[in-house]
A and B are shown apart, each in its own frame.
Chain A
């Protein structure tokens, strides 16, 4: 059995293993909560997150405002709920971009070999040579801060992870007999890549992506906190953290609420990643991917 099929097989076989893993259930609950909040936010939030009410500013939690109000009287809980959506957009949009580019570059590198292979590997190495935060800062400076540019920039920054995995997997899948058969029947390289290689490497790419969701959410909030991501008055956990930071002496809830949201979401996706990793390789529980 080749490496990729082995991988896929293992996921399916070990899904049973995952189902008996309590971490998987905790992760499922948190992630479900995150998705529900992100998708149905406008219907479940108790107040309008943009409606200001300066007479009731900087309030402590009360029955009407469960997490208090911010510096211009907006309901913190509602803003927290609305902020799940940008986190979702950035996490999945960014991952989609890096998977997309990673697959194109990775398969091209593995399939062409020679100088093109070397150039693409070098490109990956250069991107990885930058501290991620610095590369992101520079790119934001070039294109300007916004949700869209954040998605693209994060996608480019973590793309080499995917490119390298895709390249390595393609190199092994390429030697398979069914690829040789397809080639002998006159299939073009593009056709072989699309119909024979990508379906076989996709499982491992998805597993890697599952492990990256948490860090994407962390980046979104962090960069929005610095003022390089989602721009106020739009809401994001990072934007809320920034506003809370400015009123740190008056309204601690403004800081605590988004902090809880970020940590809880990251915990959910880390648990998912861990139970995935555990299912694939029960021996290495805590190793860095």
Chain B
């Protein structure tokens, strides 16, 4: 396990370097001269060359790439072009919102999903199983943004029980109140997915020999189900949580835009529309980093749960 972990950790370095290279090359790939976008069409040559020097565009690309790496390594992500704030501060100030949203969404998906899945497995091949099955399937086929606009429409506008936008005034209760809609919207797809996964995994487990044996010993059904079967049936679900967090981080972007919530996704989208290059780089870098970490956790949990990978 240790060797696998180290190997897996080492893989992060070249990947992050490649991500940095792509982000760095953005200043060459984006249409238009960066200095012109910042200063507008009537800038003097002196101002343009000053900006180019600041962005490192006056040197050959490999030197400015080296300088960029050095800058990132020292924790300096640059300054936003339009808002006069340091990119790192801007990103760090919205990051908690995205993390809370993602983790809450995942928690909801896990809790509701497992409950639905266990109920369906318990009432296998009855009307209730079918109904729950349809629900989970519709949930699993609903994209995050559709869930978000529909929740906004029904709960915030029609029923007026949830706030329409923002993340609250800073108070805990208000914050939670503002989190319900977005987190539910984010969780919908994975709730369906986890429900279906739980059902099939549970049904597979209760047909195993050791479950049949304990049944033949006359142990009560609920005891067998929730003490013995659940322990094994829940493994594939644990294994997909890491993967799910990576996916939900992407989905959070839509939720943040639709509910007008501060967050990493909305920051990046806004920066792309404004062509705020340092901000785009900072947002994408942190997003990619989080995604890499989530994938790492997913792989490690797979390996932890599956000895065949662990010992390879």
Do A and B bind? Answer: yes
Chain A residues within CB distance 8 Å of chain B: 122, 125-126, 129-134, 137-138, 140-142, 144, 214, 218, 221-222, 225-227, 241, 244-245, 248-249, 252, 255-256, 259, 262-263, 266-267, 270, 285-288
What 18 new A-B contacts, CB under 8 Å, besides A133-B265, A259-B146, A287-B197?
A122-B14, A122-B18, A129-B19, A132-B250, A138-B23, A138-B26, A138-B284, A225-B254, A227-B273, A252-B153, A262-B146, A263-B138, A266-B142, A270-B140, A286-B193, A286-B196, A286-B199, A287-B236
Q: Is the CB–CB distance between B18 and A126 below 8 Å?
A: yes
Q: Is the CB–CB distance between B145 and A141 below 8 Å?
A: no
Tell me whether chain B's interface is mostly helix, strand or loop, or mixed.
helix
Q: Is the CB–CB distance between B15 and A129 below 8 Å?
A: yes
Expressed in whole angstroms, the minimum distance between the Cβ of A112 and any Cβ of chain B is 20
Minimal Cβ-Cβ distance residue in A for B28: A142
Chain B residues near A218: list those with CB within 8 A: 143
Chain B residues near A262: list those with CB within 8 A: 143, 146
> When chains A and B are docked, how far (Å) is the Cα of A152 from the Cα of B236?
34
Chain B residues within CB distance 8 Å of chain A: 11, 14-16, 18-19, 22-23, 26, 29-31, 137-138, 140-146, 149-150, 152-153, 157-158, 193, 196-197, 199-200, 236, 240, 243, 246, 249-251, 253-254, 257-258, 265, 268-269, 272-273, 275, 280, 284, 287-288, 290-292, 295
Q: Is the CB–CB distance between B142 and A263 below 8 Å?
A: yes
Question: When the two chains form the complex, which single residue of A129, A131, A142, A241 contacts B146, counting CB atoms closer than 8 Å?
Answer: A241
Q: Is the CB–CB distance between A142 and B138 below 8 Å?
A: no
Q: Is the CB–CB distance between A130 and B254 below 8 Å?
A: no
Q: Is the CB–CB distance between A263 and B141 below 8 Å?
A: yes
Chain A residues near B292: list those with CB within 8 A: 129
Q: Is the CB–CB distance between A221 and B143 below 8 Å?
A: yes
Expressed in whole angstroms, the minimum distance between the Cβ of A62 and any Cβ of chain B is 20
Expressed in whole angstroms, the minimum distance between the Cβ of A269 and any Cβ of chain B is 9
Question: When the two chains form the complex, which single residue of B138, B143, B153 contacts A248, counting CB atoms closer than 8 Å?
Answer: B153
Q: Is the CB–CB distance between A142 and B30 below 8 Å?
A: yes
Please judge, given known A-B contacts A126-B18, A131-B249, A133-B250, whether A142 and B140 are in contact too, CB under 8 Å.
no
Q: Is the CB–CB distance between A286 and B272 below 8 Å?
A: no
3 residue pairs, one from A and one from B, having the closest CB atoms = A133-B250, A126-B18, A131-B291
> When chains A and B are docked, how far (Å) is the Cα of A186 from the Cα of B149?
61
Expressed in whole angstroms, the minimum distance between the Cβ of B129 and any Cβ of chain A is 14
17 sample A-B contacts, Cβ–Cβ < 8 Å, listed by A number = A126-B19, A129-B288, A129-B292, A129-B295, A130-B284, A130-B288, A131-B287, A141-B26, A225-B145, A225-B254, A245-B149, A248-B153, A249-B157, A255-B149, A256-B150, A263-B142, A266-B142
Q: Is the CB–CB distance between A141 and B30 below 8 Å?
A: yes
Q: Is the CB–CB distance between A222 and B143 below 8 Å?
A: yes
Q: Is the CB–CB distance between B250 and A131 below 8 Å?
A: yes
Chain B residues near A214: list those with CB within 8 A: 141
Minimal Cβ-Cβ distance residue in A for B240: A288
Please judge, given known A-B contacts A134-B287, A249-B157, A255-B153, whether A141 and B272 are in contact too, CB under 8 Å.
yes
Q: Is the CB–CB distance between B29 and A142 below 8 Å?
A: yes
Chain B residues near A141: list those with CB within 8 A: 26, 30, 272, 275, 280
Chain A residues near B236: list those with CB within 8 A: 287
> When chains A and B are docked, how far (Å) is the Cα of A227 from the Cα of B269?
10
Minimal Cβ-Cβ distance residue in A for B287: A134
Chain B residues near A255: list those with CB within 8 A: 149-150, 153
> When chains A and B are docked, how far (Å) is the Cα of A212 from the Cα of B288?
23
Q: Is the CB–CB distance between B287 and A286 below 8 Å?
A: no
> When chains A and B are docked, how far (Å) is the Cα of A144 from the Cα of B240?
34
Please judge, given known A-B contacts A262-B143, A263-B146, A266-B143, whether A245 and B258 are in contact too, CB under 8 Å.
yes
Chain A residues near B257: list those with CB within 8 A: 226
> When chains A and B are docked, how far (Å) is the Cα of A262 from the Cα of B257?
19
Question: When the two chains form the complex, which single residue of B14, B243, B287 contacts A288, counting CB atoms closer than 8 Å?
Answer: B243
> When chains A and B are docked, how far (Å) is the Cα of A122 from the Cα of B15?
8
Expressed in whole angstroms, the minimum distance between the Cβ of A132 and any Cβ of chain B is 6
Question: When the two chains form the complex, which single residue of B31, B240, B253 contacts A133, counting CB atoms closer than 8 Å?
Answer: B253
Q: Is the CB–CB distance between B288 and A248 below 8 Å?
A: no
- Of residues A137, A142, A266, which shows the largest number of chain B Cβ atoms within 10 Å of its Cβ? A137
Q: Is the CB–CB distance between A134 and B288 below 8 Å?
A: yes
Minimal Cβ-Cβ distance residue in A for B290: A131
Minimal Cβ-Cβ distance residue in A for B143: A218
